[in-house]
Structure 1
Amino acid sequence: MSHLSRDASTLLRPPNTAPVIAPPEELPVDHVLVLKVIPLPGDANANGDIFGGWVMAQMDLAGSVLPARYAQGRMATVAVNEFIFKQPVRVGDILSFFAKMERIGRTSMTVNVGVYAERFANQGTYIKVTEARMTYVAIDDHGRPRPVPNTQI
C-alpha cells in the first residue's frame, strides 16, 4: 500500500499506536442552535475531510444569526478574533452550530460559535470540532458603522 493512500493521521502518529478519538461531549445549554448542515463530497478533499474554508464560511453564517437580530438592519463581519479547528469534519457528519452573544458594544457585537459533529456512524453522540469568536458591526446604507439599537444581551 502506498503511503499516499493512507489517512494523514496514520502518517503522523507513531507506529503501533491507535488514532486519537475525541470523547463525546454534551451540547451547550447556554448557547442557541443557529444552524445545522451536512457537508457533501464536493466540500471535501481527496481523503474525505471537509475543507477548512468551507467550515469557516458556515461559521460566518452561523455567527451572524444572533448579531443580525440585535443589529436590526445591515451588519458586516469585521473580525475573526479566534478560530480553532479541534477535530476534522468528514463527509456525512451532521454539524450543529451553537452561538452565544459575548459582548454588545455601541456599534459592534462579539459572538462565540461552537460546532459539534454528529458522526454518521455514531448518531446521537456529539464531538466539538470547531470553535470561534467573531465580531460583527452594524452598518448603515453607506457601509458606515451605526449604533446597535438593542444593547441588552
Structure 2
Amino acid sequence: MNTLFLKQINELIIEADFEDNNITASIGEEGFPTADEIFRIKGFVSKSIDESRKLRLERIKASFNQNRENKSKKMTSVQVGRSLQEMLGDIVKAMQSPEQVPNGLLIAFREQSANQAASEEDIKEIWESLYQLGLIDIDGKPEE
C-alpha cells in the first residue's frame, strides 16, 4: 500500500463514488489493505505527525529563547531613564555656565530678569512648562 492508493481512496470518498461503509467492508479483500496494514500505516502517520510537531515546537522554542535572550541583552545595555527632576537639574547647571551656552539661548530664558542671569527656579519653571505643553519628551519618542 502506498500514498497513491490512499489518495485514490480519498478521491473516491470525496466524490461519494465509494461509501465509507463499502471501504470498511472491503478491508482485507484483494486490492485493499488488510487491517494490520491499516494499523501499521496509522501508526506510521501518527509517528510522523508527532515527530513533525516536536521538531516544529523545538524550532519555535529555540527562536523564542533567542529572541528573549536578545531582548534581555538589549534591556541591560540600555541606560535606565532619568527622571524629569534630574533632567531639569542638568539643564539648570548647563544654562548657569555661560561659557557652554550660546548667548541667544540665555537671552531666551531671561524674560523676567532683564539681562541678568536667570535663577534656578526660573529656568526650572520654564522647562517644566515646556514639558507640560508637550514640547519636550523625556522618553525620547518623537512627537507627532
Q: Which interval holds the TM-score relative to the shorter structure?
A: under 0.3
Q: Give the structure-1-normalised TM-score.
A: 0.22
Of the two, which has the highest radius of gyration? 2
Q: Give the structure-2-normalised TM-score.
A: 0.23
Q: Hey, which of these two has a bigger chunk of strand by percent?
A: 1
Q: Hey, which of these two has a bigger chunk of helix by percent?
A: 2
